[in-house]
Amino acid sequence: MLAIVCPGQGSQTPGFLSPWLELTGVEEQLTALSELAGRDLIAHGTTSDEETIKDTAIAQPLIVAAGLVTYRALAGSEAAAAADGGVVAGHSVGEITASAVAGALSEQDAMRLVRARANAMAEAAHASPTGMTAVVGGQPEDVAAAIASAGLTAANANGAGQVVAAGTVDQLQVLAQNPPERARVIPLKVAGAFHTQHMASAVDVLERLRPELSPRDPRLPLLSNFDGRPVASGTDNLDSLIAQVSRPVRWDRCMEQLTAMGVTGVLELAPAGTLVGLAKRGMRGTASFALKTPEDLEAARAFASEHLEAAKEN
C-alpha cells in the first residue's frame, strides 16, 4: 500500500520552488493559489530569503501550495486516481495539503483555510513570548516528566524518540536547565507555541471561517493528527483541522496507523525530506521516497505504482 504524506512548517528552504516553475502550468497554478493566499507564493518560493519564509504567515501557505503543485505534477491529468488504493496523511499544516489530496477540501478551500490559519497563528504568537524546543532521545517517561515539570506541553510527538515541547520562553528555559537524562534539548526557530493553549485565539478565527468552507467526504483514507485514525467524514476532518491548531500533533500515531494498514511505501510531497526521515526511524523496513524536484517525478511515479500494485495483489 502507498502512503502519500505532506510535510509541515519548517520543511521549506529558500528557492525550493524554482525548478517546479519550469513545468507547464505550474506558474498559472501558483498564481491562482497566491491570489487565494494573499501572498506572492512564486516570489517566496523562488527568491525570498530564509528569514522571510520562516514567517508563519508566509511559510504555511507556501508549504501547502508546494504540496498541491507537486501532487498535481505527480498525478498529471489523472489526479483523482493517483493514489487510489493508498492512504494520505499530513503533519501539522500539511494536514491541510493532505485533505486536498484526499478530496476532503478543494484547492480553493485549502488555501482559504491555510491563509486564515497562518495569519491567526502568527498573531497569536505575537501576543506573548512563547516558543518550542525539540527533545531528542532519552526514556519516554523521563522526557514526559521533564516537560510536565517545566509546565510545558508535548506539542508534537513525532515518534522515533523525538518530542517537541512548547510553552512560554521562561518554561522553555527551565527545560533547558533541567533536560531529561540522555536527551538532547534543541531550541527551534519558530515564532510561538503552536499546538498548545497559546493558539486558542486562532481556533476562534477558524471557527468563524467554517461556514464559508465546503468540506467533502475524503475519497481516500485520510489520517487525523489527533489520534492517527482515518477521519469518518468531511465534517469530521474539518473539525480535526480546526482543533489541531491548539492541540498536540500525534505523528507517532499516524505512523503506527500507516504500519497497521500495511503501508509498504511512503511518498513525501515537496518540500520533502522531514517525514521520510521520521519514517526511516519510526517505520523501519518501509520503503520511502522524497519528491523534491521535477527530476524526481518519473521515479516517484514508478515508486507509487509499485506500492499501489502491491496492495492490489494482496
Please indicate, yes or no, whether residues 210 and 81 belong to a single structural domain of this protein. yes
Instruction: For residue 144, give the 3-state DSSP assignment.
Output: helix
Please indicate, yes or no, whether residues 97 and 19 belong to a single structural domain of this protein. yes
Count of beta carbons in the 10 Å neighbourhood of residue 172: 24
What confidence tens digit (pLDDT) does each residue in 32-82 have?
Answer: 999 999 999 999 999 999 999 999 999 999 999 999 999 999 987 444 445
Please provide the distance, in angstroms rounded to a whole number, between the alpha carbons at the two ends of the chain.
Answer: 9
Please indicate, yes or no, whether residues 201 and 293 belong to a single structural domain of this protein. yes
What confidence tens digit (pLDDT) does each residue in 157-200 have?
Answer: 999 789 999 999 999 999 999 999 999 999 987 889 999 999 99
Residues classed as catalytic: 92, 195
Provide the grid cell at 240: 480535526
Please indicate, yes or no, whether residues 156 and 255 belong to a single structural domain of this protein. no
Domain with 121, as residue range(s), is: 2-125+196-313
Q: Output the domain CATH number for residue 36.
A: 3.40.366.10
> What is the enclosing helix (H) or strand (E) of 95?
helix 94-101
* Beta carbons within 8 Å of 164's beta carbon, 6+ residues apart: 132, 133, 134, 135, 154, 155, 156, 158, 188
Please indicate, yes or no, whether residues 156 and 116 belong to a single structural domain of this protein. no
Q: How many domains does the chain have?
A: 2
Give pTM, 2 decimals.
0.93
**Residue at 40: amino acid letter:** D
Asked if 89 contacts 240 with a C-beta cutoff of 8 angstroms, the reply is no
